[in-house]
Structure 1
């Protein structure tokens, strides 16, 4: 199923603990601020894949490090 989700590249999103899954079948136990690189709109098991850069606390160049993928609830 394709999700109607439009997240522009470069926008920052605050992912809440329990609402995103950085590792298979292991929900995150912490919040994370990320700069979105891409959102894959194909839903799988109620989640979509998000590719983004983690924003370190107090780092002025937020989200310039390596990108990683995580599953995120689109709701």
Structure 2
């Protein structure tokens, strides 16, 4: 299960990178900021850190449960 959480973390980073790249590309070409893609980028970065925090918390909790069983 932790493997899937890591995959989703990477997916959020990829979405953020693509969104921010698209904002920069459009700003260079049209001289306007695409706020929708900017919002996707910011939210994706936030979700990456939130998912990362939750995954590490789950790993720590599982590890402490395994240590108490032994």
TM range (shorter): under 0.3
TM-score, length of structure 1 as denominator length:
0.19
Task: Find the structure with the greater CA-based Rg.
Answer: 2
Of Structure 1 and Structure 2, which has the larger fraction of its residues in strand?
Answer: 1
Q: Which has the higher contact order (CA 8 A, sep 6+)?
A: 2
TM-score, length of structure 2 as denominator length:
0.20
